[in-house]
Amino acid sequence: MPETVSQIEGNYEDIEDETFSERLWGLTEMFPEKLRSAASNSTNLSSAAISKLYSFVRSSMWVGTTSFMILIVPVLFEQERFNLEQQQQQHQRQILLGPNAAVSNMQGGIGLAPPPPTK
């Protein structure tokens, strides 16, 4: 005699639901103890290695960043200040002696305007 839908549903209600972790734990029992201990040791070793790698990367980033800030940033600021002073001097020469004075000075001249072109 075929079962009705209500009888089938009643059969499923009698089965206890197990959580995902309980199901995984139950599945581990089908493997030999050596394999389970090797997997456990491998997982623990990997976890420790990742933790140490994270700590090392974090420390090296700190050392690298602070070293850059202490050693390189002041040089960059001085270079920028020097470039700004050079631009101000060129602008001042251009205002005082005309636009050709700044160009000739950049080309290695003495700051005098070049002679007019001959025809």
Average pLDDT across each block of 10 residues of the chain; the chain has 119 residues. List them in order: 60 71 85 92 98 98 96 95 95 83 55 62
Residue 58: what pLDDT?
98
Helix (H, G, I), strand (E, B) or coil at 93: helix
Residue 17: what pLDDT?
78
Residue 1: what pLDDT?
54
Residue 44: what pLDDT?
97
Interior angle at CA 27, CA 24 and CA 31, nearest 5: 130
Which residues does 111 contact at the CB level (< 8 Å), separation at least 6?
Answer: 93, 97, 101, 104, 105
Q: What pTM value is reported for the model?
A: 0.49
Residue 98: what pLDDT?
76
- Where in the chain are the domains? 20-60, 72-108
